[in-house]
């Protein structure tokens, strides 16, 4: 276990912690907007994981410069970029839904909404 705790692994631990916080917020919080926040924390944890995968110790940004031959991996960055766009679309649509739900039912409490 102790060999897991090295400085390079810290982002992974943070990513797992964020993943669990996000899931907890989506499942256990009663407020619909807090569930959306949970969704954002969850996707951020995935992005952090992907960026951590891409990183190399001492790697330069992936733009070719003469004399540099150690670059970080650019491919996960493009995945994260796409993922951010998707998360934005999801969040904005979910917030619209929340407005509509509030107009229809007058509450954002998940427990009360389930009883309707």
Partner 1 sequence: MENAPILVVMAPFIGAYLIPLLGLWWERYCYWVAAAATGLSVLFSLTLVGSVLAQGTIYYTVGGWEPPWGIELVVDPLSAFMCLVVSLVSLLAGAYSRSYIKKELPEGKATSYYTMMLLLTGGLLGVSVTGDLFNLFVMTEIFSVAAYALVPMMGRKGSFLASYRYLILASIGTSLLLLGTGYLYMVTGTLNMADLAARLPVAYAYHPWVVLAALAFFLVAFGVKSALFPLHAWLPDVYTVAPAPVAVLSTLVTKVGAYSLIRVLFSVFGMPLITGAIPVAPALSWMAAAAILAGSVVALQQSDIMRMLAYSSVAHIGYVMLGIGLAVQLGLTGGILHILSHALAKGCLFLCAGAVMYRAGIRRIDDFRGLGYRMPLTMAAFTLAAASIAGIPPTVGFMSKFYLALGAMETGSWVLVAVIVAGSLLTALVYLRVILLMYFGAREGPQLKEEPPLGMLVPIVTLALACAVLGIFVRVPLSLVGPGVRVLLGM
Report the interface residues with partner 1, using CB under 8 A.
19, 23, 26, 32, 35, 39, 42-43, 46, 49-50, 53, 75-76, 79, 82-83, 86, 89-90, 93-94, 97-98, 100-101, 104-105, 113, 116
Token pair for 23: 């899931």
Of 51, 55, 53, 43, nearest to 18 by C-alpha is 43
Closest approach of Cβ 96 to partner 1, in Å? 9
- Whether the CA torsion 9, 10, 14, 15 is positive or negative: it is negative
Nearer to partner 1, 6 or 67 (CB): 6
């Amino acid at each position: 276990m102790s060999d897991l705790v090295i400085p390079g692994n810290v982002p992974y631990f943070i990513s797992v912690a964020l993943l669990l916080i996000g899931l907890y917020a989506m499942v256990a919080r009663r407020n619909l907007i807090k569930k959306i926040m949970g969704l954002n924390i969850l996707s951020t944890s995935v992005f952090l994981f992907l960026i951590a995968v891409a990183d190399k110790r001492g790697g330069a940004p992936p733009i070719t410069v003469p004399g540099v031959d150690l670059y970080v991996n650019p491919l996960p960055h493009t995945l994260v970029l796409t993922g951010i766009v998707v998360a934005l679309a999801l969040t904005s649509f979910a917030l619209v839904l929340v407005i509509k739900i509030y107009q229809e039912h007058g509450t954002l409490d998940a427990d009360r909404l389930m009883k309707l």
